[in-house]
Structures are given as structure tokens and as C-alpha cells.
Amino acid sequence: MNKIQMVDLKAQYNQIKSDVDTAIQEVIDKTAFINGPDVGAFAEELQKYLDVKHVIPCANGTDALQIAMMALGFKPGDEVITASFTYVATAEVIALLGLVPVLVDVHPDTFNLDIRAVEAAITDKTVAIVPVHLFGQCAHMEPLMAVANKHGLHVIEDTAQALGSQYTFSDGRKAFAGTMGSIGATSFFPSKNLGCYGDGGALFTNNDEYAAAMRMIANHGQRVRYYHDSIGVNSRLDTIQAAILRIKLRHLDAYSSARRSLADAYDRAFAEFSQLITPFRSPFSVHVFHQYTLRCTGVSRDILKEHLESKGIPAMIYYPVPLHMQKAYTDPRYKQGDFPVTEMLCAQVLSLPMHTEMQEDQLQHIINTVKDFLNSL
Ligand SMILES: *Cc1c(COP(=O)(O)O)cnc(C)c1O
């Protein structure tokens, strides 16, 4: 049996090696390292895939979130509502821009923003809501957009973990994660569902004005070279990364299905155990399983994790510490106990290996190890 990884990037690369190697070599042969033809071509292909008007590539997902907030013209002191249960990048850029992160709790089933808590957190300083489509499943966008529209707020979708997930509205209309709010931001970090071989990110919007502002900000605030209209940043997607992403985008649907099949197999295997809660699948969102995250309710999460690791199975805790309990984000507004669902999840969640190239013997080893452990208690 090959060594089990949380994400097996090597095994995936081996499947597409000749295409990727050729594409990288072509970029080098043309020395088109910065803004080469693959960057625009990739943006266009992703635009078609997502059925969105604009895709603006940038250097990483954190930059994407920052550029979105700069483009919408938020001012220091403006409040931005986001989830207390998320990766730090979401809150980080809010704080870096001098905006005020306002945290709200999440649903215990989807791990995504609790819409009632969002509405309760709105003040006259609120300018935006940032839903995070956590672990590969869309936040409940229809009621969220209704709240945002009612209060005249922007929605910036953090789509770093959910590229390829589709949301279904009550009238049957479907939309891809990242294309429903004012702006969507995503990451192509290697382990993301559409990952490159380094850093990368992109922004999505259907609004021409936001698109123009984001292109300008990502490019030193210039529309015409050496004429700077606003303070910007330097945030580009490398051509080599774009060339790799063009190849991987063609496989994205197959990758999502492979992730879902693996999740199905885990679900079936663990259904009989009341000590574990398998991932909830909401009726309104396709789950693309960026993570397969269990809640350990009748078993010690940390002991299970240690046991798995002793059998050669990696397992990760996303995320061990809620944002409001992080040293950098301590704030007199928040204390322990303020976000009970988030705090409970941080104590219960355990993510199992999830990727596109899981072998049958590896899967059986993971499943049997979990089962044997639970049966031995
Ligand atoms: C990965 C991630 C980001 C940041 O992406 P980078 O490309 O690493 O900067 C932001 N938000 C969430 C939820 C993420 O998972």
C-alpha cells in the first residue's frame, strides 16, 4: 500500500504528467513568465466554466479577498461580517484594511454562516457580508442575499474551498459558488480543489465596474502603464501556474466526482456509529468535499486522531481555535462562550484524507482502522 496522504498531489500529477510537463516547457520556451497568453486563456476558460462575466486572476486567495474589499471602496471603521469558524485569511484582510471584522456563529450542520446571526449583527456601519463556503459546500446564499439586499450590503464570497460547487435557488436556478454575490474570491493553493503548483488566486464578478476596479488594483492601481489612478497592489498569477490550471480545469468535474465518491464510501462505512456525525449534505448545495470532516461526539477526537496517526493515517483539525480566541484577534467585544457552535466544532471536528487519487487498499485501511477503534471502545 502506498503511503496515505491528506492530499496526494504526487499521485494526481502522475495522471496528467505529460500534459503538465509540456505546458510548463512551453511557457519556458516562450519566456512568457509574466502575463503570458495562458493567463488570459485560463481566465476565459474559467469564466465559461463558471458562467460568470469576469474572472480576474491574482497571486493568491488572500490577495483576492483584499482586492475585492479595496475595489468596493470600504473605509477604515466599516464593519464586515464573517464567520467565526473559518481560515484566518478571511478576517486577516478585513483587519489589515482597517475595517472591523464582526464575527458571527455558524450552523452546526453545514458549518456555514448562521443567517439569523448575520442579520442580528448588522449595524449602520456594516458594509459587507463575507460568507465562507467552508469545506466545499455553499453557504445558504438565497436567504443571505435577501438579508444583504434588504440592508444594501455587499456580499463577497470566500470560495477558496468550494470551487465547482453549485447552489440551487428555490426557483430551480443554479449558480456556481463565487458568482452570486458582488464578488467571489478563490485560491489555487496546491491543496485546493483546483490547485496549481505554487500560489494563485482569482476574483469573479458579473459587475463591469467592480471588474475594472479589481484589474486596476491588482496591477499597481494603473489602467495605463505608469499612470496610477489609485493605490494598488502587485498581485499576478504566474503564467506557469495558469498553464497548469488550464489543464487541471478540464479535470475539475472528474476531481469533484472522485471526492464525492470517496465521501460516499466514508459515509456508508461510518453510518452505523453513533459516536461520529458524518458531513451534512444540504439540499441546496452540491458538496465538492474540499474536506471530509467528521464531528466526534461520542469519542475523543484527539485520541482517535492519535490512533489514526499511529496506523499511518494522517488526520487534521480544521480548525482548532476559533477566530475570536486567536491571540491576534482578541478583542474586548468577544470572549469565550460567545460563539457556542464554533467553539463546539473546534473541539469536535476531524478531517480525514480527502483527494482525487485514493486507492482502494488505502480506503479500506482508513475505514477498518476507524471501525476497529470504535468497536474496541
Ligand atoms: C486557502 C484559503 C484562503 C486563502 O488562500 P491563499 O491562496 O492561501 O491565500 C482564504 N480563505 C479560505 C477559506 C481558505 O481556505
CA of residue 297 to ligand 1 center, whole Å:
28
Q: What is the position in ligand 1's atom list of the atom closest to the CA of 161?
A: 15
C-alpha grid cell, residue 273: 456509529
CA of residue 172 to ligand 1 center, whole Å:
30
Atom 1 of ligand 1, residue of closest alpha carbon? 160
Name which of 53, 43, 52 is nearest 239 in CA terms.
Answer: 43
Q: How far is it, in rounded angstroms, from Cα 330 to Cα 83?
A: 15
pLDDT value of position 101: 96
Q: Which parts of the chain fold into alpha helices (H)?
A: 9-30, 37-50, 61-71, 89-96, 115-121, 141-151, 208-218, 239-250, 252-270, 301-310, 340-348, 360-375
Q: Are strands 227-228 and 276-277 parallel, antiparallel or unpaired?
A: unpaired
Per-residue pLDDT reduced to its tens digit, 88-111: 999 999 999 999 999 999 999 999
CA of residue 87 to ligand 1 center, whole Å:
7
C-alpha grid cell, residue 107: 450552523
Per-residue pLDDT reduced to its tens digit, 154-180: 999 999 999 999 999 999 999 999 999
CA of residue 277 to ligand 1 center, whole Å:
26
The CB density around residue 24, as the number of other CB atoms within 10 Å, is 17
Q: Return all residues near 180 (Cβ < 8 A) that are at least 6 apart.
A: 141, 145, 155, 157, 167
CA of residue 92 to ligand 1 center, whole Å:
11
Q: Probe ligand 1: pick from 158, 197, 319, max atoms within 8 Å of CB? A: 158
pLDDT band at 139 (very low <50, low <70, confident <90, very high): very high
Taking CA atoms, 298 is separated from 273, 274, 295, in Å, by: 9, 7, 9
Q: How far is it, in rounded angstroms, from Cα 241 to Cα 33?
A: 10
CA angle 153, 158, 164 (to 5 degrees): 120
Q: How far is it, in rounded angstroms, from Cα 206 to Cα 180?
A: 9
Q: Are strands 174-176 and 166-168 parallel, antiparallel or unpaired?
A: antiparallel
Q: What is the position in ligand 1's atom list of the atom closest to the CA of 201?
A: 7
Q: Percent of the chain, pLDDT > 70?
A: 100
Q: How far is it, in rounded angstroms, from Cα 360 to Cα 366?
A: 10
| Ligand 1 lining (C-beta closer than 6 Å) | 60-62, 86-87, 89-90, 132, 158, 160-161, 187, 189, 199, 201
Q: Probe ligand 1: pick from 67, 161, 188, 194, max atoms within 8 Å of CB? A: 161
CA of residue 187 to ligand 1 center, whole Å:
6
CA of residue 62 to ligand 1 center, whole Å:
6
Q: Per-residue pLDDT for 284 more than 90?
A: yes
- Phi first, then psi, for residue 190 (nearest 5°) are -50, -35
CA of residue 89 to ligand 1 center, whole Å:
6
pLDDT value of position 203: 98
Highest CATH level, class, for 252-375: alpha beta
Atom 6 of ligand 1, residue of closest alpha carbon? 61
pLDDT value of position 183: 98
CA of residue 375 to ligand 1 center, whole Å:
37
Q: Per-residue pLDDT for 362 more than 90?
A: yes
Taking CA atoms, 244 is separated from 136, 184, 235, 290, in Å, by: 22, 22, 18, 19
Segments making up each domain of the chain, as ranges: 9-249, 252-375
Atom 2 of ligand 1, residue of closest alpha carbon? 160
pLDDT value of position 223: 87
pLDDT band at 224 (very low <50, low <70, confident <90, very high): confident
Per-residue pLDDT reduced to its tens digit, 109-137: 999 999 999 999 999 999 999 999 999 99
Atom 10 of ligand 1, residue of closest alpha carbon? 89
Q: How far is it, in rounded angstroms, from Cα 34 to Cα 170?
A: 43
Task: Tell me which fold the domain 9-249 belongs to.
Answer: Aspartate Aminotransferase; domain 2 (3.40.640)
- Phi first, then psi, for residue 43 (nearest 5°) are -60, -40
